[in-house]
Amino acid sequence: MEPDASIETSSMIRVAVLPIAGVPPLLFRDYAAMLLRHHTVSLNSISSFYTEHQKSPFANQPWESGSLRFKFILGGSPPSPWEDFQSNRKILAVIGICHCPSSPDLRSVANQFTAACKSYSSSLVQRCFAFCPGDSQLEEESNKGSNLVLFPPADRQTQEFHLQTMVQDIAASLLMEFEKWVLQAESGGTVFKTPLDSQASLSSEEVIKAKKRRLGRAQKTIGDYCLLAGSPVDANAHYSTALELTRLTADFFWYAGAMEGSVCALLIDHMGQKDPVLEDEVKYRYNSVILHYRKSFIQDNAQRRELAKEVVELLTAAADGATSLIDASDKLVVYVEIARLFGALGYHRKAAFLKAGGSVVLATG
């Protein structure tokens, strides 16, 4: 778990904040400090930036009381192998910070920012905030249509207001991107995996199992995006569907993830309320989360043992078959290789036995 993680972390949008074009470190920290104040953006403040291009999948969006929550990552972070499983682990936006007097060539700044964004393929929105541009930089036509946002020299209060407005614009852009993503996920054939899946065998049985599990995983992931979009009621509806589907397919790991998401949705929906019944419900659900995460690993270990058993049987048959080889050197090679494989699987006694057999072949060959 991350050091600053909490139950509410699942509702936070990760934003990489990057220094661009050699911005002086002190200035970067100063500008970043202004940005970090805007970690929560109310939905009603972004309505002027928001355009509904299609019917929103967030039917219960709380426009009057809801908000989007940002988790700003200074300097960015590497991609997580668990991004499919927990959508909040993705870097969903990138903000660059540049100091124009230190970087007079804004075209170069824009190119450097574009290059930096390539490390964040999951990002849906990119903006580079360029502070204190000169008159000539403000007039440059090349800046128009790019992701550069110029912050003219001004007093602190004016800059902070400008920054707040730009963060609201980013929030609205992200909300619209979340809507697109959910609509595509509901109709598409996106595959959702974790590092646990990547270690599984790609047998036809596993492929069939993955197809059966896709719907449950998709519903869980849509629930994640509803949370990120500030709509806990919609999130809970999708998590409930995910719980039912993952239960039917014995997809315990994703069941636990959906249950964990539902806890976050419950708390966000009742933010600020102190209710013993709510606390008991959270405890009950988290006990279920822990139980099913544990069950998923027991299931995974059982599958691994079964797979290892099959491999052992194949290797034993291969060792038996090696006795019929006429050439002693061929027999020795087979014994040594099978012994190596047994050792890699942790069957050290079998490996030692075959090595001993190889020694006998070598002595008598």
Residue 202 phi, psi dihedral angles, 5° rounding: -100, 45
CATH of domain 7-187: 3.40.50
Please state, as a whole number, how many other Cβ atoms lie within 10 Å of the Cβ of residue 8: 16
Which secondary-structure segment (H or E) carries 103? Answer: none
Q: Could you read off the pLDDT of 309-363 as tens digits, one per residue?
A: 666 667 677 767 767 766 667 667 666 777 777 677 677 777 677 666 656 555 5
Amino acid letter, residue 185: A
Residue among 210, 266, 200, 274 at smallest CA distance from 233: 266
Q: Could you read off the pLDDT of 292-304 as tens digits, one per residue?
A: 888 877 655 545 5
Which residue bears the tokens 């990119």? 126
Tokens of 241: 């569907």
Tokens of 254: 């994703």
How far, CA to CA in Å, does 168 sit from each of 90, 157, 276? 20, 17, 35
Burial zone of 345 (CB within 10 Å; 0-12 exposed, 13-18 middle, 19+ buried): middle
Tokens of 274: 């102190």
Residue among 44, 48, 51, 122 at smallest CA distance from 82: 122
The reported pLDDT for the residue numbered 109 is: 93
Q: Residue ranges per domain, the chain?
A: 7-187, 209-301, 303-364
Helices 348-364, 276-322: axis angle to 10 degrees equals 10
Amino acid letter, residue 222: I
| Average pLDDT in the chain | 85
Q: Could you read off the pLDDT of 109-126 as tens digits, one per residue?
A: 999 999 999 999 999 999
Give the chain's largest Cα–Cα span. Answer: 91
Average pLDDT, 10 consecutive residues per value, the chain (365 residues): 73 97 94 96 93 86 95 94 93 97 91 95 96 86 73 94 96 96 82 71 65 90 97 96 94 93 92 82 86 74 58 69 68 72 72 64 56
- Return d(Cα 216, Cα 251) in angstroms, integer: 8
